[in-house]
Amino acid sequence: MLLLAASHPLDDENLGNLELFSASLALALHNAMTHDQVQKLAAIDPLTGIYNRRFGLTRLHEEFIRSIKQNSAIGLLMMDIDRFKQVNDTYGHTVGDRILQSLASTARKQLREGDLIVRLGGDEFMVVLLGANKKDTLEVAESIRRAIEEKQIKYSDQVIKVTVSVGGASFPECDANSEEDLIEAADRSLYVVKESGRNRALV
């Protein structure tokens, strides 16, 4: 609401100008709100409510460049749900969606303000940890892994539990020239975790 007051009555010309002004202002505010809503929709994964792949990779690129310029650390986690296909096959995709939502919510609670969690697609997630060295990155990875392992997802009369595998890397300890190099390093750690039995964090 916008309230205008005057110390004396307005003449017809000023009243006419105010009507034009209010119409223009209403249109401008509507357009601004619509633009903000569109931008938000373009950045958010509709199922989990966290950042989507395109926006997340853009932010990672920006934060990696900032880390280089400011000579600061940045950590990256790549994670996915262990044997998620079996979960979908056993309980159905509705339950699978609830598990994805629960994972996103549970993982987000382990992050600090400013950190980013991104759904890359399917059951694959990425976490960007600002200012995190290797030790910090591993601690957050283990915190996420443990929180998800302890989480119970109730559906009808069933209680479902899942685990995640997490691989990470941190710059500048990891020799990376770009965010793609950091992603590849985190993916290599994730591959080792999967090959060694899953439900583990490795940085």
Catalytic residue among 36, 123, 157, 181: 123
* Residue whose C-alpha is closest to residue 78's, from 114, 129, 153, 148: 129
123 is catalytic: yes
Name the phi and psi angles at 119, rounded to 5.
-95, 115
Joined together, the tokens standing for residue 89 give 């096959």
H/E element, 77: strand 74-81
- Give Cα 117 distance to the centre of its chain: 3
Q: Report yes or no: 98 and 44 within 8 Å, Cβ to Cβ.
A: no
Beta strands in 95-200 (DSSP E): 116-121, 124-130, 153-155, 158-160, 164-171
- By annotation, the residues acting in catalysis are 123
